[in-house]
Amino acid sequence: MARNILRDVSGLAGVKSAAISTDIPLQGSPFYIMRFEGRPPVTVSQAPIANYFAVTPGFFETMGMQVVKGRAFTERDTAESPPVVVVNQTLVDRYFPGQDPIGKRLEIAFRVPPEWREIVGVVADVRSAGLDQDTPVQAHAAYLAETHSAQQSAGPAITVLARTAQDPAPLAAAMKATILGVDRSQPVFAVQPMTEVVAKSIAQRKLSLILLALFAGSALVLAAIGVYGVLSYSVTQRTGEIGIRMALGARQSQVLLQVEKQGMGLVLAGLALGLAGAMVFTRFMTSLLFRVNSRDPLTFGIAAGTLIVVSLFACYLPARRAARVDPMTALRSE
């Protein structure tokens, strides 16, 4: 059935490549114990574990996973050929450091006698467990070489994958119809692009960051209102002083600059304290970030620059009002 599905899906207009897998990254996959040929014997409880996938030829191309050494699976990898496996770079780095893994043999799950699989390829790591988690050890078996019972134990469902030349959404209905055309008794569900899978995997983190951004935006608005209010009150209290200065020859630009300096002095002092606090507390946000350092200089620079620009505008309004004070009116009010 798998071959028929692949043939028909690959024939759809707009499909560049297609594959079948027992699982896909970010949607979970079973962990199996394993052992390596030529290594000291280990018990089941001591055995290392690997994230296990059974995939058809074309899987790595369809998923955009680069084969960095050796080869990917081909149509010749069947139940009649010697069993092979493709592993990820993490497995090589952990169990074959400084060695060429091609040709080495391992077993997925303990059997008697052992059913060794030869490593024929190495693929680059992908974050299959989550964007915020380290890449686990992964082993890919040839789906077409697995027995029916082994395929069933790997999982009750399979995933049909297709890489398209354009927006995949219009092809969803055609893919579903094609699969049902091969075997109408098979339920087809969760037809979705990988972008949606990725979006779902980070949905909770994205919501948390959106809420933090809203709170940060609210804090920025409140800070601007606070700076404006303090300076406006200060200008009102100093109306007489400003009037005397202007009567003695102070120019509007000088008054404007003086009030701006007063306000920005408070802002810069607060900014220094805020940056010091951020350097201490942002480490608690590490779990919400992906490929961004919690003390990223660019992020800190943008945040500080935004606060300074908003504060300059908040200071400018009362400063402009102070520069327009009529000396005679100010002196009469005294």
Confidence of residue 329 (pLDDT cuts 50, 70, 90): low
Q: What are phi and psi of 20, to 5 degrees?
A: -125, 140
Is 186 in the same domain as 217?
no
Confidence of residue 288 (pLDDT cuts 50, 70, 90): low
Q: Which of 53, 35, 59 is nearest to 111 (CA)?
A: 35
pLDDT for the residue numbered 36: 93
Is 133 in the same domain as 214?
no
Characterise 226 by phi-psi region: left (phi > 0), alpha (psi -120 to 50), beta (else): alpha
**Alpha helices per DSSP H over the chain:** 2-10, 59-63, 89-95, 148-154, 172-182, 194-201, 203-237, 239-247, 252-281, 297-323, 327-333
Is 10 in the same domain as 87?
yes
CA dihedral 14, 20, 22, 24 (to 10 degrees): -30
- List the helix and strand counts (H, then E) for the chain: 11, 9
Structure tokens at 322: 């102070």
- Rounded distance between C-alpha atoms, residue 85 and residue 188, angstroms: 28
Residue 182 is assigned to a structural domain of this protein: yes
pLDDT tens per residue, range 80-124: 899 999 999 999 999 999 999 999 999 988 887 888 999 999 999
Total tally of structural domains belonging to the chain: 2
In one-letter notation, the amino acid at residue 55 is V
pLDDT for the residue numbered 85: 94
pLDDT tens per residue, range 258-271: 888 888 888 888 88
Residue 198 is assigned to a structural domain of this protein: no
Is 98 in the same domain as 119?
yes
Structural domain including 274 reads 203-333
Q: Which of 156, 161, 164 is nearest to 187 (CA)?
A: 156
Is 239 in the same domain as 188?
no
Choose the final residue of a domain: 163, 193, 223. 193
pLDDT for the residue numbered 302: 87
pTM exceeding the 0.85 threshold for the entire prediction:
no
pLDDT tens per residue, range 50-77: 888 899 999 999 999 999 999 999 989 9
Three-class secondary structure of residue 281 per DSSP: helix
